[in-house]
Amino acid sequence: MARRKKIYEGKAKILYEGPEPGTIVQYFKDDATAFNAQKKDVIEGKGVLNNRLSEFFMTGLNTIGVPTHFIKRLNMREQLVRACEIVPLEVIVRNIAAGSMAKRLGLEEGMPLPRPIVEYCYKDDKLGDPLVTEEHIAAFGWASQQDMDDILSLSLRVNDYLSGLMYGVGIKLVDFKIEIGRVYDGDYQRLILADEISPDSMRLWDMETGQKLDKDVFRRDLGSLTDAYTEVAQRLGVMPKQATHAVKPKLIN
């Protein structure tokens, strides 16, 4: 079999040329990084979990009419996605103060925000993805005003969808990051949700205990990251709670 052409290798994923023009194969690695890759490790099983979880979230969003790059899952670690031009922004939506925002504004972690807050960071690892305003985005031409209107409404729809989904399984969606892609249909361009949606790019807290079920487990050395992601996947019904083979046979007298 001919070797696939690698297009890009990032911190947690590899992108390969897809089988047809305009498609890409997205491979989920087990590598975990934090603090702009200053902390690194290989977490066995993380890639498989994120592939499944991202498929689950993207499929649900597609169903409710939020356009995404997701086409189909190919195997345990790979999914087929639509090729797009990535808008160089990390869009962060926050419901509860945590992480960099809590630090920046001197807020107590866990404080519910008066309303969801959307922030934009310029995607540049060398600069540590700095926070930017719509003024920077417009002045440097990273996105148009129309794009920004679309990005804001798309982000808030994703927030409502994910918050509801998590609420249903006893988890608070504290914040998350998404990336947006640009696709062209002839002369017409539109924006779609790209990259991944997984506990790598969200903060998830158990509603009862406050237990962290996201990448903070890795960032702050709070235990097993795979266990945390498996818990999320099981609650959402993405992975079975019990493997059938684990059921003991009954003794017949």
Q: Is 97 near ligand CDP (CB under 6 A)?
A: no
- Joined together, the tokens standing for residue 39 give 């902390």
Quote the least distance from Cβ 91 to ligand CDP, whole Å. 9
Which span sits near ligand CDP by CB under 6 A: 76-84, 92-100, 154-162, 220-228? 92-100
b/e sequence 195-228, b meaning 16+ C-beta within 10 Å: bbbbbbbbbbbbeeeeebbbbbbbbeeeeebbeb
**Which one, of 191, 164, 192, 194, lies nearest residue 177 by Cα?**
194
Q: Is 120 near ligand CDP (CB under 6 A)?
A: no
Q: Is 231 near ligand CDP (CB under 6 A)?
A: no
Q: Is 31 near ligand CDP (CB under 6 A)?
A: no
Q: Which of 28, 32, 201, 232 binds ligand CDP (CB under 6 A)?
A: 201
Q: Which of 96, 162, 191, 202 binds ligand CDP (CB under 6 A)?
A: 202
Q: Which of 13, 69, 172, 203 binds ligand CDP (CB under 6 A)?
A: 203
CA distances from 52 to 19, 187, 220 (A): 21, 34, 24
> Which string of x and - marks every residue 130-159 that binds ligand CDP (by CB under 6 A)?
------------------------------
Of residues 92 and 143, the one with the C-beta less far from ligand CDP: 92
> How buried is residue 17: exposed, middle or buried, by Cβ count under 10 Å (0-12/13-18/19+)?
middle
Q: Is 171 near ligand CDP (CB under 6 A)?
A: no
Q: Is 129 near ligand CDP (CB under 6 A)?
A: yes
- Cβ atoms of 23 and 76 within 8 Å: the answer is no
Binding site for ligand CDP (CB under 6 A): 90, 92, 98-101, 129, 175-177, 201-203, 215
